Amino acid sequence: MRRAPVLAVLALSATIAAACSGGGSSKAATATTAGGGASTTAVTSAAVTSASSTTTAGVTAAPSTAAPKATTTTAPTPPPDACFLLTGAEASALVNTTVLANSSGSGATTVCTYKGKATVTLTVTEFSSSSAAHAQLQQIAKGKSATAPVAGIGDEGVAYPGGMTVRDGRVLATITSSPAPVYTALLSAGKAIVSRL
Protein backbone atom coordinates (compact mmCIF):
# COMPACT_ATOMS: atom_id res chain seq x y z
CA MET A 1 0.00 0.00 0.00
CA ARG A 2 1.28 3.48 -0.89
CA ARG A 3 -0.70 5.50 1.65
CA ALA A 4 2.38 6.69 3.61
CA PRO A 5 3.32 9.48 1.11
CA VAL A 6 -0.31 10.68 1.11
CA LEU A 7 -0.34 10.83 4.93
CA ALA A 8 3.00 12.62 4.94
CA VAL A 9 1.60 15.26 2.54
CA LEU A 10 -1.48 15.69 4.76
CA ALA A 11 0.70 16.01 7.86
CA LEU A 12 2.92 18.55 6.06
CA SER A 13 -0.15 20.61 5.09
CA ALA A 14 -1.43 20.56 8.67
CA THR A 15 1.97 21.63 9.96
CA ILE A 16 2.16 24.57 7.54
CA ALA A 17 -1.31 25.71 8.62
CA ALA A 18 -0.32 25.40 12.28
CA ALA A 19 2.89 27.36 11.68
CA CYS A 20 1.01 30.18 9.97
CA SER A 21 -1.52 30.51 12.78
CA GLY A 22 0.91 29.79 15.61
CA GLY A 23 3.01 32.97 15.47
CA GLY A 24 5.68 31.75 13.06
CA SER A 25 7.46 29.06 15.09
CA SER A 26 9.09 26.11 13.36
CA LYS A 27 7.29 22.77 13.65
CA ALA A 28 8.20 19.22 12.75
CA ALA A 29 5.44 17.05 11.30
CA THR A 30 5.42 13.32 11.92
CA ALA A 31 3.22 10.94 9.90
CA THR A 32 2.74 7.29 10.73
CA THR A 33 2.17 4.78 7.92
CA ALA A 34 -1.16 2.96 7.74
CA GLY A 35 0.43 -0.23 8.96
CA GLY A 36 1.70 1.42 12.15
CA GLY A 37 5.29 0.98 11.01
CA ALA A 38 8.07 3.49 10.48
CA SER A 39 7.32 7.21 10.70
CA THR A 40 8.20 9.85 8.16
CA THR A 41 9.24 13.28 9.45
CA ALA A 42 8.88 16.42 7.38
CA VAL A 43 10.43 19.61 8.68
CA THR A 44 8.83 22.86 7.64
CA SER A 45 10.32 26.30 7.77
CA ALA A 46 8.86 29.02 9.94
CA ALA A 47 6.08 31.12 8.59
CA VAL A 48 7.53 34.40 7.46
CA THR A 49 6.13 37.53 8.99
CA SER A 50 7.34 40.68 7.29
CA ALA A 51 7.21 44.21 8.66
CA SER A 52 4.78 45.20 5.93
CA SER A 53 2.24 42.37 6.07
CA THR A 54 1.13 39.51 8.32
CA THR A 55 -0.36 36.23 7.14
CA THR A 56 -2.82 34.50 9.42
CA ALA A 57 -4.96 31.59 8.32
CA GLY A 58 -4.46 32.49 4.66
CA VAL A 59 -5.45 36.19 5.04
CA THR A 60 -2.91 38.86 4.21
CA ALA A 61 -3.27 42.20 6.00
CA ALA A 62 -2.47 45.40 4.16
CA PRO A 63 0.72 47.23 5.15
CA SER A 64 0.28 49.78 7.93
CA THR A 65 -0.29 53.31 6.66
CA ALA A 66 -0.15 54.97 10.09
CA ALA A 67 2.17 57.96 10.17
CA PRO A 68 5.06 57.83 12.66
CA LYS A 69 4.42 59.64 15.93
CA ALA A 70 5.48 63.25 15.81
CA THR A 71 8.05 64.40 18.32
CA THR A 72 6.81 67.08 20.66
CA THR A 73 8.69 69.93 22.22
CA THR A 74 7.68 71.37 25.54
CA ALA A 75 7.41 75.08 26.13
CA PRO A 76 9.45 76.60 28.94
CA THR A 77 7.64 76.17 32.21
CA PRO A 78 6.60 79.21 34.21
CA PRO A 79 8.11 79.68 37.68
CA PRO A 80 6.50 77.67 40.47
CA ASP A 81 3.49 79.15 42.21
CA ALA A 82 4.93 81.55 44.77
CA CYS A 83 2.63 80.16 47.48
CA PHE A 84 4.26 76.75 47.00
CA LEU A 85 7.69 78.23 47.75
CA LEU A 86 6.85 79.73 51.15
CA THR A 87 4.46 78.11 53.61
CA GLY A 88 1.99 80.06 55.69
CA ALA A 89 3.91 79.15 58.82
CA GLU A 90 7.17 80.47 57.35
CA ALA A 91 5.47 83.69 56.26
CA SER A 92 3.88 84.09 59.71
CA ALA A 93 7.30 83.73 61.35
CA LEU A 94 8.48 86.77 59.39
CA VAL A 95 5.98 89.07 61.11
CA ASN A 96 5.24 87.22 64.36
CA THR A 97 1.56 86.85 63.53
CA THR A 98 -0.60 84.45 61.54
CA VAL A 99 -1.05 85.31 57.87
CA LEU A 100 -2.92 83.36 55.17
CA ALA A 101 -1.83 82.92 51.56
CA ASN A 102 -3.54 84.17 48.41
CA SER A 103 -1.94 83.46 45.02
CA SER A 104 -2.05 85.54 41.85
CA GLY A 105 -0.04 86.28 38.73
CA SER A 106 0.60 84.70 35.36
CA GLY A 107 3.33 84.33 32.79
CA ALA A 108 6.85 84.92 34.06
CA THR A 109 5.76 86.28 37.46
CA THR A 110 3.73 84.76 40.28
CA VAL A 111 2.83 86.54 43.50
CA CYS A 112 1.71 85.20 46.84
CA THR A 113 0.31 87.63 49.39
CA TYR A 114 -0.08 86.46 52.98
CA LYS A 115 -2.55 88.55 54.96
CA GLY A 116 -3.65 88.85 58.54
CA LYS A 117 -2.75 91.57 61.04
CA ALA A 118 0.37 91.97 58.90
CA THR A 119 1.13 91.47 55.22
CA VAL A 120 3.88 89.40 53.60
CA THR A 121 4.40 89.38 49.83
CA LEU A 122 6.51 86.94 47.84
CA THR A 123 7.09 87.73 44.16
CA VAL A 124 8.84 85.19 41.94
CA THR A 125 9.96 86.17 38.44
CA GLU A 126 11.72 84.02 35.84
CA PHE A 127 13.91 85.93 33.39
CA SER A 128 15.21 84.88 29.99
CA SER A 129 18.74 84.41 31.34
CA SER A 130 20.81 84.52 34.50
CA SER A 131 22.45 87.76 33.34
CA ALA A 132 19.04 89.42 32.90
CA ALA A 133 18.05 88.33 36.43
CA HIS A 134 21.38 89.63 37.77
CA ALA A 135 20.84 93.01 36.08
CA GLN A 136 17.38 93.30 37.63
CA LEU A 137 18.76 92.47 41.08
CA GLN A 138 21.28 95.31 40.66
CA GLN A 139 18.45 97.70 39.76
CA ILE A 140 16.49 96.66 42.86
CA ALA A 141 19.55 97.26 45.05
CA LYS A 142 20.14 100.72 43.55
CA GLY A 143 16.58 101.72 44.34
CA LYS A 144 16.89 100.97 48.07
CA SER A 145 18.14 103.44 50.65
CA ALA A 146 20.27 100.83 52.40
CA THR A 147 21.28 97.34 51.35
CA ALA A 148 23.37 94.47 52.61
CA PRO A 149 24.58 91.55 50.51
CA VAL A 150 23.12 88.17 51.44
CA ALA A 151 25.53 85.24 51.22
CA GLY A 152 24.70 81.56 51.12
CA ILE A 153 21.21 81.86 49.63
CA GLY A 154 20.99 81.09 45.92
CA ASP A 155 23.59 82.66 43.65
CA GLU A 156 23.38 86.14 45.16
CA GLY A 157 21.04 88.30 47.15
CA VAL A 158 20.50 91.63 48.82
CA ALA A 159 18.62 92.56 51.99
CA TYR A 160 17.10 95.97 52.62
CA PRO A 161 14.65 97.58 55.05
CA GLY A 162 11.39 95.71 54.67
CA GLY A 163 12.62 92.68 52.75
CA MET A 164 15.11 90.80 50.61
CA THR A 165 15.65 89.74 46.99
CA VAL A 166 17.63 86.65 46.05
CA ARG A 167 18.64 85.25 42.66
CA ASP A 168 18.86 81.56 41.85
CA GLY A 169 19.88 81.06 38.23
CA ARG A 170 17.47 83.10 36.15
CA VAL A 171 14.83 83.37 38.89
CA LEU A 172 14.45 86.30 41.28
CA ALA A 173 12.48 85.90 44.51
CA THR A 174 11.54 89.02 46.47
CA ILE A 175 10.10 88.86 50.00
CA THR A 176 8.69 92.00 51.61
CA SER A 177 6.52 92.55 54.64
CA SER A 178 4.74 95.21 56.61
CA PRO A 179 5.76 95.59 59.35
CA ALA A 180 9.39 94.86 58.52
CA PRO A 181 10.34 91.17 58.78
CA VAL A 182 12.32 89.53 61.55
CA TYR A 183 15.79 89.29 59.96
CA THR A 184 16.65 85.75 61.07
CA ALA A 185 13.25 84.52 59.85
CA LEU A 186 13.84 86.37 56.57
CA LEU A 187 17.10 84.48 55.99
CA SER A 188 15.40 81.17 56.82
CA ALA A 189 12.57 81.98 54.42
CA GLY A 190 15.05 82.81 51.66
CA LYS A 191 16.81 79.47 52.08
CA ALA A 192 13.48 77.62 52.05
CA ILE A 193 12.38 79.37 48.85
CA VAL A 194 15.61 78.63 46.99
CA SER A 195 15.52 74.98 48.08
CA ARG A 196 12.07 74.61 46.46
CA LEU A 197 12.84 76.31 43.15
Higher pLDDT, 33 or 161: 161
Q: Give 153's DSSP letter.
A: S
Angle between helix 183-196 and helix 88-95 axes, rounded to 10 deg = 160
Extended beta strands in 4-88, E state: 28-32, 39-43, 55-56, 59-60
Break the chain into its structural domains and give their ranges: 3-58, 82-196
31-71, pLDDT tens digit by residue? 444 444 444 444 434 333 444 444 444 444 444 454 445 44
pLDDT of 117 above 90: yes
The dotted CATH code for 82-196 is 3.40.1000
